[in-house]
Amino acid sequence: MIRCADSTEASQQAKESKLWLPRGAGCSYGDAAILDQGHLLLLDRPQVSETSSENSDSVIVSSALTLRNLLSTLASEGLTLPVVPGVLDATVGGLIAADAHGKNHLNRGSFRDITDSFQVLLSSGEVVDCDRSHNQELFEGTIGGVGLTG
C-alpha cells in the first residue's frame, strides 16, 4: 500500500505503477480493494472537512474525507446530506464508487443522485474532470464502479 499526501502524489504513483487500485477506508462489503499484484493507493484522509460551497445546495470535498467528518461539518452549519448511508467511516470516494444509499433511497435515491461532478485518476496518471455532460460515460461508469474505472 502506498500512502499519498494528495492527488498530485497519487497521480505520480499511478504513472510509476502498472497495476494499482484506489483504496478508501476499507469499508466495502466485498473485496473491491484487494489486489493480487500491484499497488493500492491510499490518500491521506483529512481529519476535518474543508468544504467549500458556491451555494447552499452543494459542497466540494476530498474523496478521502469520511462521511462522519462531512456530516459533522455540515451539522455545525445546520445542514445535512439528502442521502445518508449507515457506514459513517466510509470515504466520499468510496460512497460514490459503491453508489451508496440510505434508508430514504426510495424518496431521495443514492449517491448517483446527489453527485454533480468529480475528478477521476486514470491508469495513465492523468486526472480527468467528469460530470453528467462532460466525460459522461466515465462519470456514469465510476458511480457504482467499485473503483475500477480509472
List, for residues 67-114, the tens digit of each pLDDT value.
999 999 899 888 899 999 999 999 999 999 999 998 888 889 999 999
CA-based nearest residue to 41, from 94, 89, 3, 11:
3
Q: What is the mean pLDDT of residues 47-53?
A: 58
CATH of domain 46-142: 3.30.465.10
DSSP 8-state class, residue 41: E
Domain ranges of the chain: 46-142
Q: Where are the beta strands (DSSP E) in the chain?
A: 2-4, 20-23, 39-43, 117-121, 127-131
Q: What is the mean pLDDT of residues 112-127?
A: 90
More confident residue, 29 or 23: 23
pTM assigned to the model: 0.82
Task: Give residue 19's pLDDT band: very low, low, confident or very high (50, 70, 90).
Answer: confident
Q: Does 1 score more than 60 pLDDT?
A: yes
